[in-house]
Amino acid sequence: MASLEDKKRAVARYIETVSAGDLDGILSLYTEDATLEDPVGSAPVVGHAAIRAFYERATKMGIRLEPTGPVRIAGDEAAFPFRVSTVGGPKMTIDVIDVFRFDEAGKVVSMRAYWGKENMKMG
Catalytic positions, written as ranges: 14, 38
Stated as kind and residue range, the H or E segment containing 16 is helix 4-20
The residues that bridge with 102 in the sheet, in sequence order, are 108
DSSP symbol at 1: -
Q: Output DSSP code: residue 90.
A: S
For 39, phi then psi, to 5°, come to -80, 170
Provide the 3-class DSSP secondary structure of residue 87.
coil
